[in-house]
Structure 1
Amino acid sequence: MTAVELGLDTFGDITLDVSGARVSDAQAIRNLVEQGTLADAVGVDFIGVGEHHRPDFAVSSPEIVLSAIAARTERIRVGTAVTVLSSDDPVRVYERFATLNAISNGRAEIILGRGSFIESFPLFGYDLSDYEALFEEKLELFSLLRTEKPVTWQGTTRAALNAADVYPKTEGGFRAWVGVGGSPESVIRTARYGYGLMLAIIGGSAARFRPYVDLYHRAVGEMGREALPIGIHSPGHIAETDEQAWEEAYPGFEAQNNSIGRERGWPAYSRLRFQQEAGPEGAIYVGSPETVATKIATTIRTLGAGRFDLKYANGTLGHDKLMRSIELYGTKVIPLVRDMLSE
């Protein structure tokens, strides 16, 4: 358990500057590169950057941002959180990640998903009625491309391939996961195609995901697949004390949830809901290094996870606070978690 990987995720949120004004998309991206560089310096294992096509997130091309981070770092693994495979082309996705893997000297990995936002579908000319077929077929094709051998494939969502070879070739492949929000069918699909399972736990107790972990292990065994790690993705923020972390984080969580909630018909976000999720049974990892480390270690033990990624950017919280959170995560939380897991 002490060998568990501890990473960070971000969607490149548009934050507020010290005067309370929104930063530009360009500045948010430059800030993200600086955050990734710091994460490497303080010992974080992984930095994941999400793909979105909406005004509250700056990153629509994560691989470019990750290449910038890779060029400025030495050891941290770089990947997505997630790549929306359904509205992209598997061949181009594979080529971009093979290129990122070369730039990073083998540190690239990809988390594939259907996406919890749908803006990319009309943007790139896809019909939402094909939501399931798009992901199923493209995941199958991507799995074939991972062999780095000529691919023959036919489906309904893109042109067929006949002994097609794809370049550049890697020096040993790259790790790939599928992001899952809690569907048994998605868990079984992930096992069938031989991907690591990345659980997006953004509400409620992590313990309720244990049946999905057990299902994944059973499916991997029945299909004769290699045992692969379980990962967890959950939001949070770290400051010197619990109270400071709560006060810093809440406005950003409120702004983000209310912005998305207006589109999806959610009730207004409340401080009570925030504090419940920040408690021992909730999905928000907000507090002092000791509080966050204890909660992470408990979650890892509960689910038998091999990786935990803290989504450290949530809404409008400023760059300076994000940098401090990353510093505390690397210098305080990670050593504490490793100590707790060694007991």
Structure 2
Amino acid sequence: MELGIGMFGDLTYDAKNGRFQPPGERLAEMIEQVKLADELGLDCFVLGEHHRADYAVSSPEIVLSALSAVTGKIKLASGVTVLSSADPVKVYQDFTTVDLLSGGRAEIMAGRGSFTESFPLFGYDLQNYNELFEEKLRLLLQLNEEEIINWEGEFRAPLHNQTVYPRPERKLPVWIAVGGTPESVYRAARHGLPVIFAIIGGMPGQFLPLIDFYREQYKEHGHDAGKMQVAIHSHSFVSASEEELIRNYFPYYAAQMDRIGKTRGWSPYTRMQFRGGIEPEGALFMGEPDRVADKIIDTVEMFGLTRFVAHVDVGGPGHKDLMKAIELYGTKVVPQVRKALGEQKG
């Protein structure tokens, strides 16, 4: 069982001046935050890709490369690489480089992307949303299995007797990131790949049928059940108390939900929704350490998880508050979870 943190590189918004913080400042903060996570013994760091004004990270592999030089043990993963609008050859080269720099700590979490800005940016048609991902995933997996590549598809120039350099010293871990569609879950199971579910709303228990479906199909396609990995990635924030959470963090979270919601037709995010989310049945892993730990333990046991990723920077909370949240997660929450699950970090 692995416990980690995730980020999208949300930029803090200054309402007085009507502007986001400089991306360079946020990236520098992120380096310090992940160094702390590494020092606290967290297992993995997962970094998203976005092409919007409110996020600092459009190239996770470049940031992960920088992090490889200042961390020693923590796994460094994308979360996600929007593979549909990327070149799998370049993705493979970039993550091989991160893997070599980090001493074998890089992972690719590939997804179709719930944000679609990258498609027009890189010249792809959203009508091919699913077909692009399926084809590019097949090429990425072939690159990971074979040194000499012969490949032909619909959306990319063919490859004839090509070798991609540099070569990794191992097969790169490739996860499939899903939002909850049975087709995506089936794809991960069919390929025998680890799966990570983004659970950011509703009740986590609603995902149990999909996780059972994944396990069932994984075995049905002849893959070794002993190698099966199931993870979830959920919005999280640890604070000294619920009152502090509502007072200090809720405004950041609600503002980001509303920024995203404007493009998706959502109603304004309310304090009642937030309070419902932090209840035991809700999807937000937030509040004081004991409460967050209990919720993670219950979720791990319900799903039989092998990894939990706490997405900690939604809305761009201030650096000091985010450092404190990571500290509480690493020193209070994670030890409780490991103890309850009978695991020792060594």
TM range (shorter): over 0.9
Kindly indicate whether residue 3 of structure 2 is the aligned counterpart of residue 6 of structure 1: yes
Counterpart of 1:313? 313
Measured after TM superposition, the shift of residue 149 of structure 1 is 2.1
How far does the alpha carbon of each residue in 1:265-288 deviate from its partner, in whole angstroms, 9 at most, with x for none?
110110000100111111111111
More off after superposition, 313-322 vs 163-172: 163-172
Q: Report the 3-state secondary structure (helix = DSSP H, G, I; strand = E; otherwise coil) of the residue aligned with 2:20.
A: coil
- Any conservation in 1 of the 2:10–2:54 contact (CA below 8 Å)? yes
Give the Cα separation in 2 of the matches to 1:207 and 1:178: 20
- Any conservation in 1 of the 2:9–2:316 contact (CA below 8 Å)? no
Measured after TM superposition, the shift of residue 16 of structure 1 is 4.7
- Any conservation in 2 of the 1:31–1:319 contact (CA below 8 Å)? yes
2:34 to 26, 33, 36: 36
Q: Report the 3-state secondary structure (helix = DSSP H, G, I; strand = E; otherwise coil) of the residue aligned with 1:199.
A: strand
Counterpart of 1:278? 278
How far does the alpha carbon of each residue in 1:197-228 deviate from its partner, in whole angstroms, 9 at most, with x for none?
10000111111111111111111111112332
Give the Cα separation in 2 of the matches to 1:18 and 1:261: 18
- Any conservation in 2 of the 1:87–1:121 contact (CA below 8 Å)? yes
1:50 to 48, 51, 73: 48
- Any conservation in 2 of the 1:289–1:333 contact (CA below 8 Å)? yes
- Any conservation in 2 of the 1:177–1:195 contact (CA below 8 Å)? yes
How far does the alpha carbon of each residue in 1:103-137 deviate from its partner, in whole angstroms, 9 at most, with x for none?
00001111100111000000000011111110010
Counterpart of 2:253? 253
Distance 1:254 1:129, change over 3 A: same
> How many aligned positions are there?
340
Counterpart of 1:144? 142
User: Unaligned stretches of 5+ in structure 1?
Assistant: none
More off after superposition, 5-14 vs 26-35: 26-35
Give the Cα separation in 1 of the matches to 2:43 and 2:15: 29
Please give the residue correspondences for 1:81-160 in structure 2 after superposition, counting only pairs within 5 Å: 81-160=79-158
Q: CA RMSD in A?
A: 1.5
Letter matched to residue 171 of structure 1: E
Letter matched to residue 190 of structure 2: R
How far does the alpha carbon of each residue in 1:216-253 deviate from its partner, in whole angstroms, 9 at most, with x for none?
11111111123321010000111112221232221111
Give the Cα separation in 2 of the matches to 1:156 and 1:277: 43
Give the Cα separation in 2 of the matches to 1:118 and 1:29: 23
- Any conservation in 1 of the 2:20–2:54 contact (CA below 8 Å)? no
Give the Cα separation in 1 of the matches to 2:51 and 2:15: 26
Q: Report the 3-state secondary structure (helix = DSSP H, G, I; strand = E; otherwise coil) of the residue aligned with 1:146.
A: helix
Counterpart of 1:166? 164
Distance 1:287 1:166, change over 3 A: same
Q: Report the 3-state secondary structure (helix = DSSP H, G, I; strand = E; otherwise coil) of the residue aligned with 1:14.
A: coil
Letter matched to residue 335 of structure 2: P
Letter matched to residue 248 of structure 1: N
Give the Cα separation in 2 of the matches to 1:284 and 1:32: 22
Kindly indicate whether residue 3 of structure 2 is the aligned counterpart of residue 25 of structure 1: no
- Any conservation in 1 of the 2:286–2:292 contact (CA below 8 Å)? yes
User: Unaligned stretches of 5+ in structure 2?
Assistant: none
Letter matched to residue 12 of structure 2: T
How far does the alpha carbon of each residue in 1:173-196 deviate from its partner, in whole angstroms, 9 at most, with x for none?
221111011111111111122210
- Any conservation in 2 of the 1:15–1:319 contact (CA below 8 Å)? no
- Any conservation in 2 of the 1:258–1:268 contact (CA below 8 Å)? yes
Give the Cα separation in 2 of the matches to 1:18 and 1:239: 23
- Any conservation in 2 of the 1:94–1:142 contact (CA below 8 Å)? yes
- Any conservation in 2 of the 1:7–1:46 contact (CA below 8 Å)? yes
Counterpart of 1:220? 218
Q: Report the 3-state secondary structure (helix = DSSP H, G, I; strand = E; otherwise coil) of the residue aligned with 1:316.
A: coil
How far does the alpha carbon of each residue in 1:58-84 deviate from its partner, in whole angstroms, 9 at most, with x for none?
100111111111100111111111000
Give the Cα separation in 2 of the matches to 1:226 and 1:56: 41
User: Where does structure 1 differ by over 3 angstroms across 4 or more consecutive aligned residues?
Assistant: 16-22
1:77 to 75, 95, 106: 75
Give the Cα separation in 2 of the matches to 1:75 and 1:342: 22
Measured after TM superposition, the shift of residue 8 of structure 1 is 0.4
Q: Report the 3-state secondary structure (helix = DSSP H, G, I; strand = E; otherwise coil) of the residue aligned with 2:133.
A: helix
